[in-house]
């Protein structure tokens, strides 16, 4: 029997667009209260006005160490607990390694890997004290396959796959479920850096999925009975060729 999310409190990073926003909307539709974490203050305010009082803005810059460290405490000043943490924020770079630069590599690894680890680290004491919680991380099919046209991105997602699966084993003893959703290419701003020929090929062949198709998978994960953990759900466009 599916778990009821009505009355639950969730926090979603990268909440102002894409998969994050789709998850926010799905959780709200299910009756949850959602803290929308993003660095885009203006976007969060517009969303609060559109989505209503159960959508609570939290301005956090995950690339700023102090802001990232303060995220969980600041969320807990706005709500009395966190049932669900969806670590979704991330960035993308494609192309050969020698086509990028060290600063861009640092930014990607800091957001895709370090911020996720720090967000999970920050919420563990709170969830462990309550003896329950769900942590879902947006990974990628690139965390399961060495994609040759995106070595830095693929490397960051392989790191997160390892992290999520080790944390799943650590935290299940504390009543905390940990899993990841691994989409193929999603229609979002992240694909702006895709090599144009790859993006055109994907669009022309129908090899892209919508953010809502990923949020549907996340909602399935979150609504399983507590004795069930969906450790990783890979969601691909049917025509995607990896």
What is the reported pLDDT for 189? 61
Q: Is residue 241 part of a domain?
A: no
Contact between residue 153 and residue 111 where contact means Cβ atoms under 8 Å apart: no
Give this prediction's pTM.
0.92
Kindly state the tokens that stand for 17: 């667009």
What pLDDT, in 10s, does the model give residues 214-241?
Answer: 999 999 999 999 999 999 999 998 887 6
Report the number of distinct structural domains present in the chain. Answer: 1
Q: At what angle do helices 41-51 and 18-29 cross, to 10 degrees?
A: 30
Assess whether 153 carries a catalytic annotation. yes
H/E stretch holding 147 reads none
Sequence-distant (6+) residues with CB within 8 A of 18 are 186, 188, 189, 190, 211
From the list 94, 122, 153, 158, the catalytic residue is: 153
Q: Is residue 156 part of a domain?
A: yes
What pLDDT, in 10s, does the model give residues 164-195?
Answer: 999 999 999 999 999 999 999 887 765 666 66
CATH of the domain at 172: 3.40.50.720
Q: Is residue 104 part of a domain?
A: yes
What is the reported pLDDT for 59? 98
Lowest mean pLDDT among 7-16, 93-102, 115-124, 186-195: 186-195
Q: Is residue 242 part of a domain?
A: no
User: Range of 231's domain?
Assistant: 9-235
């Amino acid at each position: 029997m599916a778990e009821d999310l009505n009355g639950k409190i969730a926090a979603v990073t990268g909440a102002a667009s894409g998969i994050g926003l789709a998850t926010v909307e799905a959780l709200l539709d299910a009756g949850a209260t959602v803290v929308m974490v993003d660095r885009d203050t203006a976007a969060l305010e517009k969303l609060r006005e559109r989505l209503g009082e159960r959508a609570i803005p939290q301005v956090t810059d995950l690339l700023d160490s102090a802001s990232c460290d303060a995220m969980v405490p600041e969320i807990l000043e706005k709500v009395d607990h966190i049932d669900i943490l969806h670590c979704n924020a991330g960035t993308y770079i494609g192309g050969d390694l020698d086509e990028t630069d060290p600063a861009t590599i640092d930014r990607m690894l800091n957001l895709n890997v370090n911020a996720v680890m720090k967000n999970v680290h920050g919420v563990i004491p709170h969830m462990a004290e309550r003896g329950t919680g769900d942590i879902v991380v947006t990974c990628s099919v690139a965390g399961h396959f060495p994609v040759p046209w995106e070595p830095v991105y693929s490397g960051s997602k392989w790191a997160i796959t390892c992290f999520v699966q080790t944390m799943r084993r650590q935290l299940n003893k504390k009543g905390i479920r940990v899993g990841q959703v691994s989409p193929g290419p999603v229609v979002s701003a992240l694909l702006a850096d895709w090599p144009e020929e790859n993006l055109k090929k994907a669009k022309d062949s129908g090899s892209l999925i919508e953010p809502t198709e990923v949020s549907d998978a996340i909602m399935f994960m979150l609504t399983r009975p507590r004795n069930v953990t969906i450790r990783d759900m890979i969601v691909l466009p049917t025509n995607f060729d990896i």
